[in-house]
Structure 1
Amino acid sequence: MLITMCEKELHRLGVIKDICHKRITQVAAATLLNLTRRHVQRLVNQYRLHGDIGLVSKRRNMPSNRRYPTEFKEQILNIVKDKYSDFKPTFACEKLLENHNISLSSETLRQWMVADGLWTVRRRKKRQIYQPRYRRDCVGELIQIDGSHHDWFEGRSPKCCLLVFIDDATSKLMSLYFCEAETTYDYMNVTRQYIAEHGKPIALYSDKHSVFKINSPSRKTSKQMTQYSRALYELNIELICANSSQAKGRVERANFTLQDRLIKEMRLAGINTIEEANAWVPHYISIHNTRFACLPHSTDDKHRLLQESSIELDDIFARQVSRSLTSSLTLQYDKVIYILTPTDKAKCLVGKKVMIYDYPDGTLSIQHCGESFEYSIFDKLRNVQQGEVVSNKRLGAVLAAAKRSQDEREKEPSRNRNSRMASRKAPKRAMNPVYLTDVEFKASSSRD
Structure 2
Amino acid sequence: MNEQKKYEVIKRLVDTNGNKKRAAIELSCTIRHINRMIQGYMKEGKEYFSHGNKGRKPVNAFSENFYRKIVDLYLTKYWDANFTHYSELLAKHEGIIASSSTVETILKAENIISPRARRSTRKNLKKKLEVLKEQATSQKEIIRIEENILDLEDAHPRRPRCSNFGEMLQMDASIHLWFGSEKTQLHIAVDDSTGMIVGAFFDTQETLKGYYNILHQILINHGIPYMFFTDRRTVFEYKQKKSPSVEEDTFTQFSYACNQLGIEIRTSSVPQAKGRVERMFQTLQSRLPLELRLAGITTIEQANEFLNSYVKEFNAMFALPVNDINSVFEKQPDNEKINLTLAILTDRKIDNGHSIRFENKYYKLLDPNSCPVYYHKGTSCMVIRAFDGQLFSCVGEKVYSLEEIPKHEVKSKNFDFSKTETKPIKRYIPPMSHPWKKASFDAFLRKQAHRQENVA
- In which range does the TM-score fall when normalised by the shorter chain? 0.5 to 0.7
Q: CA deviation at 1:229?
A: 1.2
Q: How far apart, in 2, do the equivalents of 1:290 and 1:31 lie? A: 54
Describe how 1:343-362 pairs up with structure 2 within 5 A.
Answer: 346=373, 353-360=380-387, 362=389
- Partner residue, 2:28: 33
Alpha-carbon distance in 1 for matches of 2:69, 2:366: 76
Q: CA deviation at 1:176?
A: 1.9
TM-score computed with the length of structure 1 as normaliser? 0.65
The question of whether the paired residues in 1 share the 8 Å contact of 2:366 and 2:402 is answered with: yes
* Aligned equivalents of 1:213, 1:204: Cα separation in 2: 19
Task: Report the more deviating stretch, 104-113 or 122-131.
Answer: 122-131
Q: Secondary structure at the match of 2:123?
A: coil
**Secondary structure at 2:195's aligned position in 1?**
coil
Percent identity over the alignment is 26
- Give 1:366's aligned residue: 393
Q: What is the CA-CA distance between 1:205 and the residue it aligns to?
A: 1.5
Q: Assess if the C-alpha contact under 8 Å between 2:180 and 2:297 holds in 1.
A: no
Q: How does 1:14-93 map to 2 (within 5 A)?
A: 23-24=19-20, 29=24, 33-34=28-29, 37=32, 39-45=33-39, 57-58=50-51, 62=55, 65-66=58-59, 67-77=61-71, 79-80=73-74, 83-93=77-87
Give the Cα–Cα distance (whole angstroms) in 2 for the partners of residues 129 and 256 of structure 1. 10
Match of 1:289 among 315, 320, 324: 315
Q: Distance in 2 between matches of 1:85 and 1:376?
A: 51
How far has the Cα of 1:102 moved from its partner? 3.2
Q: 1:121-160 maps to which residues of 2 (within 5 A)?
A: 122-123=122-123, 132-155=158-181, 158-160=182-184
| Distance change (3 Å), C-alpha of 1:42 and 1:64 | farther
Counterpart code for 1:103: I
Aligned to 2:342: 317
Structure 2 unaligned segments of length 5 or more: list them. Answer: 115-120, 125-150, 408-456
CA shift in 2, pair 1:290/1:340, >3 Å: closer
- Give the alignment's Cα RMSD to 1 decimal: 4.5
Give secondary structure in 2 for the equivalent of 1:294: coil
Q: 1:113 to 1:29 in 2, by over 3 A?
A: closer
C-alpha offsets along residues 383-421 of structure 1, whole Å, 9 cap, x if unaligned? xxxxxxxxxxxxxxxxxxxxxxxxxxxxxxxxxxxxxxx
C-alpha displacement of 1:234:
0.9
What amino acid does structure 1 have at the position aligned with 2:101?
A: E
Structure 1, 261-270 or 53-62: larger mean CA deviation: 53-62
Q: What SS class does the counterpart of residue 276 from structure 2 fall into?
A: helix
Q: What secondary structure, in the 3-state scheme, does the structure 1 residue paired with 2:86 have?
A: helix
Tell me the distance in 1 between the aligned counterparts of 2:297 and 2:288.
11
Distance 1:296 1:57 in 2: 55
Q: Which residue of structure 1 lines up, in the alignment, with residue 420 of structure 2?
A: none
> Which residue matches 1:245?
271
Residues 1:149 and 1:132: Cα distance change in structure 2 (over 3 Å): closer
> Which residue of structure 1 aligns with residue 253 of structure 2?
227
Aligned-partner Cα distance in 2 for 1:333–1:215? 23
Indicate the SS of the match to 2:122.
Answer: coil
Quote the residue 1:429 is aligned against: none
Moved more, 95-104 or 298-307: 95-104
Taking a change above 3 Å as real, the CA distance of residues 293 and 17 of structure 1, as seen in their structure-2 partners, is farther
C-alpha contact (below 8 Å) 1:138/1:298 kept by paired residues: no
- Matched pairs, number: 366
CA distance, structure 2, for counterparts of residue 280 and residue 345 of structure 1: 44
Segments of 5+ residues of structure 1 without an aligned counterpart are 380-448
- Report the alpha carbon displacement of residue 177 of structure 1 after superposing the two structures with TM: 1.5
Residue 227 of structure 2 contacts residue 265 of structure 2 at CA under 8 Å; is this kept in 1? yes
Q: Distance in 2 between matches of 1:71 and 1:152?
A: 32
Q: What TM-score does the superposition give when structure 2 sets the normalisation length?
A: 0.64
Measured against aligned partners, the alpha-carbon deviations of 1:343-384 in whole angstroms (never above 9, x if no partner) come to 9995677775422113455543222324315566599xxxxx
